[in-house]
Copies of this chain bind each other. A is one copy, B any other.
Amino acid sequence: MFKINENYLKLPGSYLFSTIAKKVAAYKEANPDRQVISLGIGDVTQPLAPAVIEALHRAVDEMGAAETFHGYAPDLGYEFLRRAIIDNDYRSRSVDIALDEVFVSDGAKSDSGNIVDIFAVDNRIAVTDPVYPVYVDSNAMSGKTGEYIKEKECWSNVIYMPCTAENNFVPHFPDETPDIIYICCPNNPTGTTLKKEELQKWVDYANDKKAVIIYDAAYEAYISESDVPHSIYECDGAKTCAIEMRSFSKNAGFTGTRLGFTVVPKELKSSGTSLNQLWARRHGTKFNGAPYIIQRAGEAVYSEAGKAQTKQQIAYYMKNASQIREELTNMGYTVFGGVNAPYIWLQTPEGMKSWDFFDVLLERANVVGTPGSGFGPSGEGYFRLTAFGSAESTAQALERIRAL
């Protein structure tokens, strides 16, 4: 008789964004005349850049002729893309990454979920709190998180590192020693960052404890301040303790186009076994590459025109971010993030519960955001707004919030 993976049964309720989608749908059905604006889910709205569109058309044409047709891609991804990544994202910042340390994938969500495969069950994970739910859920599914404690909304075997206004969103080293540490910087959901000297301390800590850092840099392109690192490998010693994940979703609007990559340095080892080799095996056995035409689109993001055009898109979203920041501050809200990230993290007024504020915003302003508590216990009393809307809808949402 077959047996299911019972760890799945321990997962609490539904995924945060499904719950929100259901609440919004119910509200819209009951109030068909209201026009609801979403500053909720982190999905982009600007179209793909012209340089990317051109590259896609060219690659599609290649797929239509036998002489230029492409079948199975190389396991790690096409060299033209890995080379563009290395030159633009790493060499330009004096970071030396080898071609076979870059693994092209269908996105950072898949990679950050699948990376758990190469680690043993008895690793203790540490996450910043609030946190992107995929890190915890994927570990829960593979049996690494213990039991879910409903009243505390947390897992018995996960080390939560609170990131709140009190510690300026910089996690302290935990009392218990973790084996795997998840850091997302610029952070989703708080929109805050670690400065390079702060990240260096975490790299030193990980090397000291022989822990591994899973570093999610999906929002790297939004960094505007010079003391915030773009890659963890800017820190000394990071290659012996860190795996870095990147995405084309937010820097080039690829949420529906699907492309990302993970860097696993060969120096990162456990008892002589390189994690690069383990991930290569996982990648080669359980994945078959991103589509050729999508890899060509990714290459175009690094072309001169692509860089200029995607920079404009980011500027567009960041203008929304600073508008949200500024106006909410003027309204009296306490606001974080939005400087090096497309997320604004605000304190709910008068200590209101996150989900109560969600209801108020939905019902009275017809604006959808994300309740902070959905990202973890320390998110309670906070609320996330994204800068990914159009300039018009963002302005309108702010007007409605002002009128509350």
Contacts and interface: CB of A to CB of B under 8 A. Distances in A.
Contact of A1 (B18, B65, B211, B253): B211
A179 B2 contact: yes
Given A1-B179, A18-B284, A70-B256, 14 more contacts: A1-B209, A3-B179, A4-B273, A4-B278, A8-B281, A8-B282, A57-B60, A69-B256, A109-B287, A110-B288, A114-B286, A141-B281, A141-B282, A141-B285
A3 B278 contact: no
Interface in A264-295: 270-271, 273, 275, 278, 281-282, 284-294
A281 B56 contact: no
A290 B273 CA distance: 33
A287 B113 contact: yes
Contact of A45 (B48, B69, B290): B69
Interface residues of A, number: 81
22 contacts: A1-B210, A1-B211, A3-B119, A3-B123, A4-B118, A4-B120, A4-B275, A5-B278, A8-B278, A43-B71, A43-B72, A45-B66, A46-B69, A53-B60, A53-B61, A117-B141, A137-B285, A255-B288, A256-B289, A256-B292, A257-B291, A258-B289
A289 B61 CA distance: 24
B72 A2 contact: no
A107 interface: yes
A247 to B, nearest CB: 10
A71 B256 contact: yes
A70 B117 CA distance: 30
Nearest to A291: B258
A134 to B, nearest CB: 6
Contact of A66 (B46, B284, B290): B46
Interface string A19-59: 00000000000000000000001011111101001001100
Interface string A104-118: 001101100110011
A385 interface: no
Nearest to A257: B291
Contacts of A107: 288
B286 A110 contact: yes
A56 B45 contact: no
Contacts of A118: 4-5, 8
Contact of A69 (B4, B47, B211): B47
A8 B297 CA distance: 33
B72 A281 contact: no
Given A4-B270, A113-B285, A47 B60 contact: no
Contacts of A281: 8, 11, 141
Contacts of A9: 273
Contacts of A106: 106, 287-288, 290
Contacts of A288: 106-107, 109-110, 255, 258
Interface string A321-335: 000000000000000
